[in-house]
Structure 1
Amino acid sequence: MNVVLICLDTFRADFLAAAGRNDRIRTPNLDRLAAEGVLFRNAFGEGQPTIQYRRALMTGRRTFPFDDNYDTKGLWPNLAGWHKIPPEQTMLSEALLEAGYTTGFCSDTYHMFKPTQNFTRGFNSWDFIRGQETDNYRIGPVGAVDMSKWRPPNEKGPGGHLFQHLLNNQGRKYEEDYSAAKVFASACRFLDDVRECQPFFLWIDAFDPHEPWDPPRHYTDMYSPGWDEDYEPITHIGHEHGKKIVDRHIANYYGEVTFVDKQVGLLLDRLEHLGVADDTLIVATSDHGTELMDHGRLGKGVHNCRYRHNNEILAVMRLPGKAHAGARVEGLIQNQDFYPTILKACGVAHDPVDGLDLMPLIEGKSASLRDYIVTGWHNLANVRTLEYSYVCNYATGKDETLFDARADPAETANLAADQPEIVKEYRERLAAFLGKLPAELPGCRWMTQPPIRIWAEKSPAGKVVSEYRN
C-alpha cells in the first residue's frame, strides 16, 4: 500500500464544501476526495501553528506543553514550540523508509528548511520550492518591485514581508509559475519517477493558502467581480479600510483556496493515470485556519486557538479501494493521530506515541477515542469537548472564554462569567495536563528577525522598504 500525505497551510476546514458549512467556496477536488473517503468533523490541531503542527504530524508525539530547550537561532517567527524535531523521535518517513518504502517530500513551506530544522530526515528525495513569503531567496533587482500595486493607499506597517514576497515571485506569468502549482508538479514528477519503486510514501506540504493571499487574479474575480482599483490587497490589512477593500482581501483568500484545490485535483488525476490510486492511502489535512472578520479581525495571529475557525484542521482520509467511502466521523481527533493510523495501515510497528489509531472511529467500532482535547498556540491553551470550548492564557491563568460548542458553533457568546462550574471543570483539566495553572513554559532561546527586515533597517538599498513603514 502506498501513502500520500497532503498538508495545506492555513486551509479553513469549514471552507470544504463537503463539510456542509459553506456553499460558496469552490473545492470540487477535495470534495471528491471526501466523497470517496472519510471526513472527520471534529479535528483540531494539537500544537500550533506551522512547525508545532508538523512536528506532531510526523512523529505522533505531542508538542504542547512546549519545550524550547533547543537551538532556534536563525528561526522566525519567535513562537513557543517553534523548533526542530527532537533526534530521539522517529519521523513517519524514517519508519516507512526502514519498512522498505520509497520516500519523497515536496514542499514550499520554507520554515521547515531554515537553519537548525531537520524535516528532511528519512526521505530518498526531497524538493524545496523556493520563494514563499519571507523566504530569503532573492534580493533584487530592487527596482522590479512596486509595493503600491499590492496594498491599499497609505497602508501603514512594515513592508519587509511583502517586499520579499514580491522579489521572490517576480516574473510570474502563468498558473504553473505559482508556488502551489510548482509543489504539486514536483509531486507528480515524484509519482512518475517511482512507478516501479512501490510502495512509496509522498508528503506534499503546500504553504498556500497561507498569506499573502496572492492567487492568479481570475481566481479572486470568481468571488469579487468588478474590482476597479489599481492595486490588489494581498497582505493582511487593517479592518478599518472599509468593506470594499476587506471583501476584496477575503476574496483573495477564497481564490487561493480554489487555486490550491485545483492542484490537489491534478495530483489525484495523476494517481489515477498511473494506475496506483486504488492501492494508495491519501490523507489531506491543514495545520490551522484563519480569521476572516469572524470576530472582527483578519488573520490567525490575533486570537490564535481561541476560536474554532483558527484551530480546527482539515482532516480527510481516502482508504485503498475507497473503503468506507462517505463515512463521517464525529469523534474528536488531532494531528498526532495520523502517525499511528498510517503506520498500522501499512503494517509497520512503532514505538509508543501520543497519537491514537483512527480506524475504530472509521469502522464505527467506537464513537470516540478521547473525552476532550488540548491545543496550545503561543500563550493560549484550549480545552475542548463536543459540548464546550474553554480557552485561557496558560501563563497567567486569565483571559478566559467559554463557548457552548453545540448551541453557539460560531463562538460568539462568552459564557465564562455565567457558567463558573463548567469553567472550573475545564480549568482543572488544563491544570492537570500542564501540571499547574498558571504554568511557566520555556520561552524562545533566540530572538530572530527575517533577514529582509534587518536589511531594510541597515542597508542603504533597504530604504525602498523602509519608506512603507509610515
Structure 2
Amino acid sequence: MAKPRNIIVINTDTLRADHLGCYGHPFIETPNIDRFAERSIQFNNAYMESGPTVQMRRVWFTGQSLLPYPIDLPPKGIFPPLLGWKPLRNEDVAIAETFQENGYTTGLVVDVWHFFKPNMNLHRGFDYWFLEGGHETHSYATGPVRDVDTRQHLSEAMWTEEYAKRTKLYLMNTNDYREEEYFCARTFRKTAQMAIDFAASGKPFFIWADTFVPHEPWDGRKTYWWNRYKDRFKVKSKIKEPIFFYGADMSKCTREDNDLFHAIYCGMVTELDYWVGYLLNMLEMTGLFENTTIIFTSDHGTEFMEHGQFQKHPELLHREVTQLPLLVHHPDFEDKHVEVDGLVSALDYAPTLLNLAGIRKKHKAPLQGFDFMDLARGDKKANREFIQCGYCHFGGIRTLTHNMIFPVATAEDAKTLDEILPNMALDVQHALKGPDPSVGVRLYDTVKDRGEQKNIYGKCPQVEKQLKAYGRSVWPNAPKLQD
C-alpha cells in the first residue's frame, strides 16, 4: 500500500479567480500563484455552493449541501444573522475527524475570526489550531476605543456612524502592524512552521490554512496598491489613507470610490501572493513540496460594479462572486500544467480530499459531491450537468453554457423573515413581486456573454425549462421555478 501523502489546503477569502494572472488578468501581479499554477492542475469552472464565509466552510468540512436554507436565525450571540451562518452541528462529521481517526496529524491555522466565535465548532477534528487574531471587528486589542477621526478614511457621502464604529475597532487591531505582522503573513508563516514540525513526526499530516485576505476592510494605508494600481485605475480620490469597511452607505458609492477601492483590493491580492509564495518556498526548501498535495482556492469573489453594485450581494450570483480559483499540485502529475474545464462544486472538495488520503470509505457520513481529480484524469463520468449556488434568499443554476439566477424564498418565508430579519423580508417581498430585472429570473448565455451582461430570459424556452428543472431539484418550492 502506498504511503499516505501530506495534504495542505491554502484557502483565501473574497479572492476573485479572474484577478489572478493564471486565470487571465492582464496586469495584477501574482507571480508566485502563477508559478504554482504552471506546476499544477488548474480547474477553470469551480464555483461556490453556499455563501458566504461560514456557509462555505460548513460545506467544505462536511461535504453536505446547506440548500435550501432553513428560514431561521443562527444561535443567539452569533453574528451576522445570515441564513445558513451556523455552527457545525453535533450530527455533522467533519473531514478533519476522519483524517484524525486514520493516522493523520491535523492542523488548522486561520486569521478568519469567525472560526472561533463561541460554539462555532469549525475547529472540530483538528489536533492543533491557531487563530491569528485581529481581523475585521474581532475584539482583539484591549482598552478603550481610540477617538479617531474616521472621516479621513472614506468619502463624506459614504461615511456613517456604523462605519466609524467598525473602523475604529479595526484600527485598534492594526495600527501598530508592520507588513510581516499582517494577517496573511502571520497565517502562512505559522503554516510553514506547522508543516515542518508535523513532518518531523514521520506521520502524514492534513493542514487547512485559511486567511481572510483580501476580504474587507480594503485598507489603503498599505503600500502595495499605490505604485502598481493607482494609475491603472485612474484613481482620482484625494483621500490620504482610504479604508473601505462594512457600515458605509453603499448607495452613495460613486465610480470614483469604486475605482479607488478596486485598486486597493488589487494591492491586497498582490500582497497575498507574496505570502503564498513565502509558504510555497518554505515547502520547497524543506523538501515537503514534492510529497505533499497542495490545493489553493477561495470561498467566493466580489463585485466592482460589473453589474451595477459594489461588493457581493445575494442577487449577484455572477461569475465575479461565485467562481473559485482552484489549483492542485499533485505529485503524480509530475509538475505538469493541466487545465480542466469541467464543472466543480464546493461540494466536491470533501470527497476529493478524503480520496487523496485513501480514506473516503472510512468517512462515517454520506458525501454529496464527486472527486474532482477524476476530471483531471479524464473520467467523463465525473462531469457535472449543473452547479447549484445559494446565497441567502437567492439561488443560481449554472451549466457550462448558461447561468440562471432567481429568488428562492416563498411568500410564507417572507412572513417568517418579517419576524426575525425584517430587512431581508423586504428584499424577499420585492423579489417575489417582479418583474424587476434586478431581482426576477435572469438567464445568461455564458459562452457568448462571459460577462453575463445581457439577460436573455424569455428567449430560450428549452434552456429555461431544463435549468428550472435543475433548480426545483434543489429548491422545490421556489415560486419563480414553477412555470
For the residue of structure 2 that corresponds to 1:303, the secondary structure is coil
Aligned residue in 2 for 1:148: 151
Larger RCO of the pair (alpha carbons < 8 Å, separation 6+)? 1
Measure the CA separation in 2 of the matches of 1:297 and 1:69. Answer: 27
The CA deviation string for residues 360-400 of structure 1, in whole angstroms up to 9 with x for no partner, is 21112327521111111110000111111111101146611
AA partner of residue 314 (structure 1): P
**In the TM superposition, what is the alpha-carbon distance from 1:18 to its structure 2 partner?**
0.8
**In the TM superposition, what is the alpha-carbon distance from 1:261 to its structure 2 partner?**
1.1
Tell me the C-alpha RMSD between the 2 structures.
2.2
Aligned residue in 2 for 1:252: 264
Match of 2:374 among 360, 364, 388: 360
For the residue of structure 2 that corresponds to 1:142, the secondary structure is coil
**In the TM superposition, what is the alpha-carbon distance from 1:404 to its structure 2 partner?**
0.4
1:341 aligns with 2:352: yes
Map of 1:29-108 to 2, 5 A cutoff?
Answer: 29-67=32-70, 72-108=75-111
**In the TM superposition, what is the alpha-carbon distance from 1:153 to its structure 2 partner?**
3.1
For the residue of structure 2 that corresponds to 1:74, the secondary structure is coil
Aligned residue in 2 for 1:232: 242
Measure the CA separation in 2 of the matches of 1:358 and 1:76. Answer: 33
**In the TM superposition, what is the alpha-carbon distance from 1:81 to its structure 2 partner?**
0.7
Map of 1:260-271 to 2, 5 A cutoff?
Answer: 260-271=272-283
Measure the CA separation in 1 of the matches of 2:239 and 2:20. Answer: 30
Map of 1:310-329 to 2, 5 A cutoff?
Answer: 310-320=321-331, 322-323=333-334, 325-329=336-340
Aligned residue in 2 for 1:214: 219
Match of 1:5 among 5, 9, 31: 9
For the residue of structure 2 that corresponds to 1:361, the secondary structure is helix
Measure the CA separation in 1 of the matches of 2:199 and 2:46. Answer: 33
1:189 aligns with 2:227: no
Measure the CA separation in 1 of the matches of 2:269 and 2:325. Answer: 12
Moved more, 65-74 or 411-420: 65-74
Normalized against structure 1, the TM-score is what? 0.87
Aligned residue in 2 for 1:457: none
Give the gaps of 5 or more residues in structure 1. Answer: 440-470
**In the TM superposition, what is the alpha-carbon distance from 1:189 to its structure 2 partner?**
2.1
Give the gaps of 5 or more residues in structure 2. Answer: 411-431, 435-439
**In the TM superposition, what is the alpha-carbon distance from 1:65 to its structure 2 partner?**
1.6
Measure the CA separation in 2 of the matches of 1:302 and 1:151. Answer: 25
Aligned residue in 1 for 2:174: 169
Measure the CA separation in 1 of the matches of 2:183 and 2:87. Answer: 24
Measure the CA separation in 1 of the matches of 2:169 and 2:398. Answer: 38
Measure the CA separation in 1 of the matches of 2:314 and 2:474. Answer: 25
AA partner of residue 437 (structure 1): A
Flag the 1:257–1:26 CA change in 2: closer, same or farther, 3 A.
Answer: same
For the residue of structure 1 that corresponds to 2:130, the secondary structure is strand
**In the TM superposition, what is the alpha-carbon distance from 1:74 to its structure 2 partner?**
1.3
Flag the 1:367–1:251 CA change in 2: closer, same or farther, 3 A.
Answer: farther
- Check whether the contact 1:211–1:235 (CA below 8 A) recurs between aligned residues: yes
- Check whether the contact 1:403–1:411 (CA below 8 A) recurs between aligned residues: yes
Aligned residue in 2 for 1:309: 320
For the residue of structure 2 that corresponds to 1:317, the secondary structure is strand
For the residue of structure 2 that corresponds to 1:314, the secondary structure is strand
- Check whether the contact 1:102–1:194 (CA below 8 A) recurs between aligned residues: yes
The CA deviation string for residues 54-92 of structure 1, in whole angstroms up to 9 with x for no partner, is 111111111212246785211111111111112222212
1:424 aligns with 2:434: no
The CA deviation string for residues 225-262 of structure 1, in whole angstroms up to 9 with x for no partner, is 58754331433664755444332211110001111111
Map of 1:267-306 to 2, 5 A cutoff?
Answer: 267-301=279-313, 303-305=315-317
**In the TM superposition, what is the alpha-carbon distance from 1:275 to its structure 2 partner?**
0.9
Flag the 1:202–1:231 CA change in 2: closer, same or farther, 3 A.
Answer: same
Map of 1:393-412 to 2, 5 A cutoff?
Answer: 393-396=407-410, 399-412=440-453
Measure the CA separation in 2 of the matches of 1:188 and 1:199. Answer: 15
Match of 1:223 among 226, 229, 232: 229
**In the TM superposition, what is the alpha-carbon distance from 1:324 to its structure 2 partner?**
6.5
Aligned residue in 2 for 1:448: none
AA partner of residue 76 (structure 2): K
Moved more, 99-108 or 62-71: 62-71
The CA deviation string for residues 248-294 of structure 1, in whole angstroms up to 9 with x for no partner, is 21111000111111111111011111111111001111110000121
The CA deviation string for residues 160-191 of structure 1, in whole angstroms up to 9 with x for no partner, is 2222211221212x211211111112212212
Moved more, 46-55 or 417-426: 417-426
Measure the CA separation in 1 of the matches of 2:473 and 2:314. Answer: 27
Normalized against structure 2, the TM-score is what? 0.85
The CA deviation string for residues 9-54 of structure 1, in whole angstroms up to 9 with x for no partner, is 000011121112x111111111122111111111111111111111
For the residue of structure 1 that corresponds to 2:324, the secondary structure is coil
Measure the CA separation in 1 of the matches of 2:186 and 2:253. Answer: 33
Flag the 1:103–1:216 CA change in 2: closer, same or farther, 3 A.
Answer: farther
Moved more, 125-134 or 313-322: 313-322
AA partner of residue 208 (structure 2): W
Flag the 1:46–1:24 CA change in 2: closer, same or farther, 3 A.
Answer: same
Sequence identity of aligned pairs in percent?
33
- Check whether the contact 2:74–2:85 (CA below 8 A) recurs between aligned residues: no
For the residue of structure 2 that corresponds to 1:41, the secondary structure is strand
Measure the CA separation in 2 of the matches of 1:370 and 1:15. Answer: 25
